[in-house]
């Protein structure tokens, strides 16, 4: 159970027996303890966490050395978007190692919990021989099954490991870079330029028409029957809400107004941040961009339920913000997801 939902006295999926999405009134807390003004999606699977990132310790070399030598320090090894998890009855927990058993690879501080236990991440490699019940799980699969603490730690570890795996050289001069700030930054030893983890913002939006029908589309790359809300990367020099209007227009010919922010969730696969929105259409005639979108249609709630129940449509998995956005419009739990 998420502590914030408990503290706020709100609905919690674990207590209500199914995933419950709600549009909170202003002032409700989220699993991170942060408050969004306006309606918000809370407890998104990958936007949880219970360990303070303790960024003030990242420059404290003496503390970092001491923490790495402490016997109770826990290390998450992340590689290629996966980490070791123990799975038991639809619940998963991260498998930590002590610093002495961690691979000698790029290391980064994840944070410190309320008991003063330090958590680090290491960018692979994962061991090849695994005990029974332990698997290297992709974040997409593990995220919804993990506790608030472990979901936060794995999301941060995977995001940083992905960056370290990819951004090894200076973009200015091509020299190999070295880490600093406890693995949260890299510096070029030749020209002293500093580089920080790259995050690509992407917007994702549920568009409604005046009858409150939802616009769902199938990407040209997806198999038959899979549909979702529209999404796309924010371009250089563009605001997130401008990206919403542009992508909707480009992909479906629909124009929107009244863009409402719903919440965000990191999606480090490999390095996105999904910014969720609702938008109201002012022009509802659909003209799809055939390069990107195979088909797009307006669905009433009854249409959608019938299409899912008949197997004609499948929706994104609950770990995704897309699923939560669609569910928040629909007003109840939705079956029939693809993974």
- Residues 80 and 159: their CA atoms lie apart, in Å, by 10
Q: Candidates 143-151, 164-172, 198-206, 216-224 — which segment interacts with Zn ion by CB under 5 A?
A: 164-172
Q: Which residue number, 191 or 212, has a Cβ lying nearer to Zn ion?
A: 191
Give the strand pairing for 255-267 and 74-79.
Answer: unpaired
**190 in contact with Zn ion (CB under 5 A):** yes
Give me the helices (H) in the chain, please: 3-8, 13-16, 61-69, 139-142, 148-166, 240-252, 301-309, 321-330
- Secondary structure element (H or E) that encloses residue 48, with its range: none
Q: How far is CA 204 from CA 11, 120, 201, 303, 320, in A?
A: 24, 31, 10, 22, 11
**293 in contact with Zn ion (CB under 5 A):** no
Q: What are phi and psi for residue 246, nearest 5 degrees?
A: -65, -50
- Residues 146 and 144: their CA atoms lie apart, in Å, by 6
Least spacing, CB of residue 137 vs Zn ion, in Å: 36
Look at residues 52, 295, 292, 60 and name the one whose alpha carbon lies nearest to residue 156.
52
- Non-local (6+) Cβ contacts of 271 within 8 A are 159, 162, 163, 197, 198, 199, 200
**188 in contact with Zn ion (CB under 5 A):** yes
Q: Candidates 73-81, 186-194, 205-213, 264-272 — which segment interacts with Zn ion by CB under 5 A?
A: 186-194
**198 in contact with Zn ion (CB under 5 A):** no
Q: What are phi and psi for residue 78, nearest 5 degrees?
A: -125, 135
Q: Which of 15, 101, 172, 198 binds Zn ion (CB under 5 A)?
A: 172
Q: Which residue number, 130 or 178, has a Cβ lying nearer to Zn ion?
A: 178
3-class SS at 134? Answer: strand
Interface size with Zn ion, residues (CB under 5 A): 7
Least spacing, CB of residue 288 vs Zn ion, in Å: 44
Q: Which residue number, 187 or 246, has a Cβ lying nearer to Zn ion?
A: 187
Q: Candidates 6-14, 150-158, 173-181, 196-204 — which segment interacts with Zn ion by CB under 5 A?
A: 173-181
Q: Candidates 95-103, 184-192, 197-205, 209-217 — which segment interacts with Zn ion by CB under 5 A?
A: 184-192
Q: Candidates 32-40, 141-149, 168-176, 247-255 — which segment interacts with Zn ion by CB under 5 A?
A: 168-176
Least spacing, CB of residue 200 vs Zn ion, in Å: 22
**191 in contact with Zn ion (CB under 5 A):** yes
**170 in contact with Zn ion (CB under 5 A):** yes
Q: Which residue number, 161 or 170, has a Cβ lying nearer to Zn ion?
A: 170
Least spacing, CB of residue 167 vs Zn ion, in Å: 12
Q: Candidates 47-55, 182-190, 197-205, 322-330 — which segment interacts with Zn ion by CB under 5 A?
A: 182-190
Q: What are phi and psi for residue 8, nearest 5 degrees?
A: -85, -5
Q: How far is CA 165 from CA 18, 125, 192, 202, in A?
A: 37, 11, 21, 22
Other CB atoms within a 10 A radius of the CB of residue 251 amount to 22
**194 in contact with Zn ion (CB under 5 A):** no
Least spacing, CB of residue 106 vs Zn ion, in Å: 18
- Non-local (6+) Cβ contacts of 247 within 8 A are 203, 205, 230, 231, 232
Q: Which residue number, 192 or 302, has a Cβ lying nearer to Zn ion?
A: 192
Residues within the interface to Zn ion (CB under 5 A):
170, 172-173, 175, 188, 190-191
């Amino acid at each position: 159970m998420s502590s914030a939902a408990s503290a706020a006295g709100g609905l919690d999926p674990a207590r209500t027996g199914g995933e419950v999405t709600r549009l909170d009134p202003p002032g409700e807390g989220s699993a991170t303890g942060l408050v969004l003004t306006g309606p918000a999606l809370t407890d998104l699977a990958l936007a949880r966490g219970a360990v303070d990132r303790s960024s003030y310790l990242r420059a404290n070399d003496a503390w970092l050395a001491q923490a790495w030598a402490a016997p109770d320090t826990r290390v998450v090894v992340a590689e290629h978007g996966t980490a070791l998890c123990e799975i038991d009855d639809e619940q998963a927990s991260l498998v930590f190692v002590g610093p002495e058993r961690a691979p000698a690879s790029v290391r980064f501080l994840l944070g410190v919990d309320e008991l003063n236990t330090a958590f680090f991440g290491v960018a692979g490699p994962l061991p090849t021989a695994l005990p029974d019940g332990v698997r290297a799980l992709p974040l997409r699969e593990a995220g919804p099954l993990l506790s608030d603490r472990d979901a936060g730690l794995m999301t941060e570890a995977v995001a940083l490991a992905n960056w370290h795996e990819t951004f090894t050289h200076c973009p200015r001069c091509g020299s190999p870079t070295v880490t600093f700030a406890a693995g949260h930054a890299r510096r070029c030893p030749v020209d002293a330029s500093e580089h920080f983890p790259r995050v690509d913002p992407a917007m994702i939006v549920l568009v409604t028409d005046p009858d409150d029908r939802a616009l769902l589309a199938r990407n040209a790359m997806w198999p038959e029957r899979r549909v979702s809300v529209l999404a796309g990367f924010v371009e250089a020099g563009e605001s997130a809400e401008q990206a919403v209007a542009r992508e909707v227009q480009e992909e479906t010919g629909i124009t929107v107004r009244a863009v409402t922010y719903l919440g965000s969730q990191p999606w480090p696969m490999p390095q996105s941040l999904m910014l969720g929105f609702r938008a109201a259409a002012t022009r509802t005639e659909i003209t799809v961009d055939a390069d990107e979108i195979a088909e797009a249609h307006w669905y009433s709630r009854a249409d959608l339920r019938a299409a899912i129940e008949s197997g004609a449509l499948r929706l994104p998995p609950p770990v995704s913000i897309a699923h939560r956005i669609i569910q928040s419009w629909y007003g109840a739990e939705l079956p029939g997801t693809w993974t």
